[in-house]
Amino acid sequence: MIEPGKSEPAKCPTCGKPATQTHRPFCCKRCADVDLHRWLAGVYAVPAVEDDDEDGDAQNSGPSPGER
């Protein structure tokens, strides 16, 4: 049971073990490296959905080649 005013120790987001002060919020360097690899590999990417304009064409972020 947790005493009033004290929170439960933080858990490592990679493996769920208690986090250490040295590698916070992870439990060890290995879990921190696993998380970094996931970020660099795009595992945590947020999917994007392009909106259609009134004509039904996807919006173009830059000028078309004839407009330069």
Residue type, 22: T
Q: DSSP assignment, residue 4?
A: T
Q: Is the pLDDT of residue 34 over 90?
A: yes
User: What b/e string do you get for 25-45 counting C-beta neighbours within 10 Å, with b at 16 or more?
Assistant: ebbbeebbeebeeeeeeeeee
Query: How does pLDDT run across 51-63, given as a tens digit for each residue?
Result: 776 665 555 556 6
Those residues whose C-beta lies under 8 Å from the C-beta of residue 44, and which sit 6 or more positions away, are 38
Structural domains in the chain?
Answer: 9-43 (3.30.50.10)
Q: What is the pLDDT of residue 30?
A: 98
For the segment 7-26, the average pLDDT, to the nearest whole number, is 93
